[in-house]
């Protein structure tokens, strides 16, 4: 073989190698894109499923309220929760800060089917605040009706009209519906009295005495004592941990590494903090209201971050009877989720100086507001949020580096059927 033939063979081999390399790189890029997009699609579908299931169960077990002597029903919504566990100690109010990403949330929780904590977490990847959902639901699967007190509770018993709905190891919520009679009480008729989570030891074999005992039974939790409770109240069956029917008292929000976390406030499992799904960039939510009362369809939507509104987080968790009535008007929750792929695809410079795989902005709840916010056109807006306080629409500007990822926007409405 001559030198010229050798050079030609080398050139042909180089061209063929470059062609093969280009095809392989292109195929690998498409494969990574397809895999990443499939991952966030599947993750988003699972997040929708699990949040839909939890939200539809919200209020189960305590939404019926307590009726005493045929009088009007009183609802325990907004009562300050007290709970303890023999192994973990005081659970509610939380003795210590909740684990990340919920460390900035108040350690005091009140009974409510659903609460939205606006800007409750700041995911490390997004760098912008994300909402937190607080969802509470029992899982007893019994009558779902409260049983009224028939006498004053003691340190380890609750006197009820009947104990048919309760079994050993059931978790029960003891709620007062009238101001305490003791001189030490500072309760006002304008405020909802605290609730205590206890555990059933036995139901007295058909008697009216509900004996309390087990890991969740405590005569005193922080400043709350069983013997200080009046005889005006009722017991709600929340479920049975040993029978696999633990109640869901959950805090849900986005944390590090685009991961959606839940935290079990009652610590019914050995690991109360759980990773639900990855690929979750931000989560935001809005309340759906039925202002016309029972049987009325949702006719108004409102953002929970309106500082002057009775639907702000501070107002709804104020523990007043007005807050209780307001909570009962919330009949649906609309959830918006931004999903993001895990790997960047290309930069503007590598694509010719102008192309990105993502748009300049992402918008949630666009149909809830007729007037949109200003567009994300200024480079100073990159990575910022244009939505003003109280706005229904949420607009997230994407920075130049953020636009190298692919996104999916999920928006769904869940009715609170127990209300």
Tokens matching residue 61: 């077990």
| pLDDT tens digits for range 121-167 | 999 999 999 999 999 999 877 656 788 999 999 999 999 988 888 98
Asked if the structure places residue 371 within a domain, the reply is no
| pLDDT tens digits for range 61-73 | 898 888 776 667 7
pLDDT score of 308? 67
Contact criterion met (CB below 8 Å) for 212 and 182? no
Alpha-carbon distance 93 to 112, whole Å? 15
- Cis amide linkage into residue 93, ω under 30° from 0: yes
Asked if the structure places residue 350 within a domain, the reply is no
pLDDT beyond 60 at 31: no
Average pLDDT (97-113) is: 95
Burial group, residue 5, by CB count within 10 angstroms (0-12, 13-18, 19+): exposed
pLDDT score of 202? 83
Asked if the structure places residue 389 within a domain, the reply is no
Helix H or strand E encompassing 115: strand 114-121
pLDDT score of 226? 94
pLDDT score of 140? 73
Ordered DSSP codes for 70-99: T---B--TTPBEEEEETTTEEEETTSSPPP
**Residue recorded with tokens 């202002």:** 291
Average pLDDT (407-411) is: 96
Asked if the structure places residue 327 within a domain, the reply is yes
Q: What is the span of the domain harbouring residue 323?
A: 1-341+412-419
C-alpha to C-alpha distances, 239 to 51, 164, 171, nearest whole angstrom: 20, 14, 6
pLDDT score of 297? 83
* Closest C-alpha among 94, 72, 208 to residue 153: 208
Rounded-to-5 percentages of helix, strand, coil across the chain? 20, 30, 50
| Percent of the chain predicted with pLDDT > 70 | 85
Alpha-carbon distance 55 to 52, whole Å? 5
Average pLDDT taken over every residue of the chain = 86
| pLDDT tens digits for range 187-224 | 556 788 999 999 999 876 667 899 999 999 999 999 99
Task: Please list the residues that pair with 277 across neighbouring strands.
Answer: 260
pLDDT score of 355? 79
Residues with Cβ within 8 Å of residue 77, at least 6 apart in sequence: 110, 111, 112, 113, 192, 323, 324, 327, 328
Asked if the structure places residue 394 within a domain, the reply is no
Count of structural domains within the chain: 1
């Amino acid at each position: 073989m001559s030198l010229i033939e050798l050079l030609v063979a080398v050139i042909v081999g180089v061209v063929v190698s470059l062609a093969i390399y280009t095809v392989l790189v292109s195929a690998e890029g498409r494969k990574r894109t397809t895999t990443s997009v499939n991952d966030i699609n599947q993750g988003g579908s699972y997040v929708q499923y699990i949040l839909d299931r939890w939200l539809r169960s919200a209020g189960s077990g305590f939404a019926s309220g307590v009726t005493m002597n045929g009088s009007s029903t009183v609802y325990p919504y907004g009562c300050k929760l007290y709970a303890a566990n023999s192994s973990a100690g005081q659970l509610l109010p939380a003795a210590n800060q909740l684990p990340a990403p919920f460390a900035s949330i108040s350690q005091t929780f009140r009974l409510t089917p659903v609460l939205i904590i606006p800007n409750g977490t700041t995911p490390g990847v997004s760098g912008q605040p994300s909402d937190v959902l607080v969802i509470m639901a029992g899982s007893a699967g019994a009558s779902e009706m409260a049983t009224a007190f028939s006498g004053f509770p003691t340190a380890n018993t609750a006197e009820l009209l009947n104990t048919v709905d309760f079994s050993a190891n059931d978790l029960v919520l003891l709620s007062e519906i009238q101001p305490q009679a003791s001189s030490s009480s500072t309760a006002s008729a304008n405020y909802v009295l605290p609730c205590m989570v206890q555990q059933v030891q036995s139901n007295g074999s058909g008697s009216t005495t509900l004996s309390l005992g087990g890991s969740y039974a405590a005569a005193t939790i922080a400043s709350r004592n069983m013997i200080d409770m009046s005889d005006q109240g009722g017991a709600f069956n929340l479920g049975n941990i040993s029978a696999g029917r633990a109640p869901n008292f959950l805090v849900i929000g986005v944390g590090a590494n685009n991961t959606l976390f839940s935290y079990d406030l009652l610590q019914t499992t050995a690991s109360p903090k759980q990773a639900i799904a990855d690929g979750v960039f931000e989560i935001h939510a809005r309340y759906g209201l039925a202002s016309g009362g029972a049987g009325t369809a949702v006719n108004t939507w409102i953002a929970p971050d309106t500082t002057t509104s009775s639907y702000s987080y501070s107002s709804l968790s104020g523990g007043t009877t007005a807050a209780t009535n307001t909570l009962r008007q919330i009949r649906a929750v609309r959830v918006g989720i931004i999903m993001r792929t895990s790997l960047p695809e290309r930069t503007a410079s590598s694509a010719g100086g102008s192309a990105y795989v993502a748009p300049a902005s992402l918008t949630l709840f666009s149909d809830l507001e007729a007037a949109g916010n200003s567009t994300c056109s200024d480079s100073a807006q990159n990575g910022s949020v244009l939505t003003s306080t109280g706005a229904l629409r949420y607009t997230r500007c994407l920075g130049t580096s953020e636009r190298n990822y692919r996104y999916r926007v999920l928006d769904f409405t869940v009715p609170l059927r127990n209300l």
